[in-house]
Amino acid sequence: MTEAELIKYCRRGDRLAQKMLYERFAPKMFGVCKRYVRTREDAEDVLIEGFFKVYDNIEKFRGQGSFEGWIRRIVVNQSLMFLRKKHNFQLTVEVSNIEVQTGISIEDELAAEDILNLLNKLPVGYRTVFNLYVVEGYKHREIAEIMGISINTSKSQLILAKKRLRTLIEKNEGKQERSA
C-alpha cells in the first residue's frame, strides 16, 4: 500500500491501515523516543501516545513536507511533553563561564549506537538540548521556546553536553587502551 493510500485509509479510521502505519514508522520513531527518554518502558509509552496523536490528528496533515517528518515532529513533541512532566527545564547557566573547544565534532566520530549509549549518560537537560540542536536541527531560539528556557541556557546546555560527551569518550578510549 502506498503512503498516500495509507493516509487516506487512516483518515477513515481503518484499523488495519492504522496497524500498517504503526508497523511502518514505529521502529524509526522508537529510536527518536529513545534519544530523549532513558528507559525502554518510558520510550514505549511515549511512542504509543505519539501514535495516538498521529491517528487523532491525521486530518491535519496537508501533504506539505514528508509524512515521516510530520510523525517525527509529533513524537519529538510527545517526548518533550513527557520530559516536562518529569523534569524541570528551568535551568540557568551563563554561557560566558564555559570554555568552548573547537575541532572535530563528537557526533561525527561515533556510531549511532555509541551516541545513544553516551546520550543516556547525560543529564536530561543536556541530552534534550543536544538532541534538538544536533539531531533534529532546531535553532537555539526554537529550543528556548519549546523548553521554556533562555537562549543562553540552551547554548550553555549544548556546550556542557558536548563537553561531558568528550569526557565520556576519553574515558571509554582509556578503558579500551588498557584492555588492549
pLDDT given at position 176: 64
Q: Under CATH, to which class is 95-179 assigned?
A: mainly alpha
CA 114 – CA 125 distance, rounded (Å)? 19
Query: pLDDT value at position 79?
Result: 93
Taking alpha carbons only, the member of 21, 32, 18, 45 closest to residue 131 is: 32
Q: pTM to 2 decimals?
A: 0.68
- Select 3-86's CATH number: 3.30.410.10, 1.10.10.60, 3.40.190.10, 1.10.1740.10: 1.10.1740.10
The yes-or-no answer to whether 3-86 and 95-179 have a common fold is no
- Please report which confidence band the pLDDT of residue 177 belongs to, taking 50, 70 and 90 as the band edges: low
Identify the band that residue 178 occupies on the pLDDT scale cut at 50, 70 and 90: low
Encode 86-103: b = buried (16+ Cβ within 10 Å), e = exposed: eeebebebebeeeeeeee
| Number of helices (H), then strands (E), in the chain | 9, 0
Per-domain residue ranges for the chain? 3-86, 95-179
* Between 91 and 12, the higher pLDDT residue: 12
Give the whole-angstrom CA distance, residue 142 versus residue 151.
9
Average pLDDT over residues 109-130: 78
CA distance 155 to 141: 9
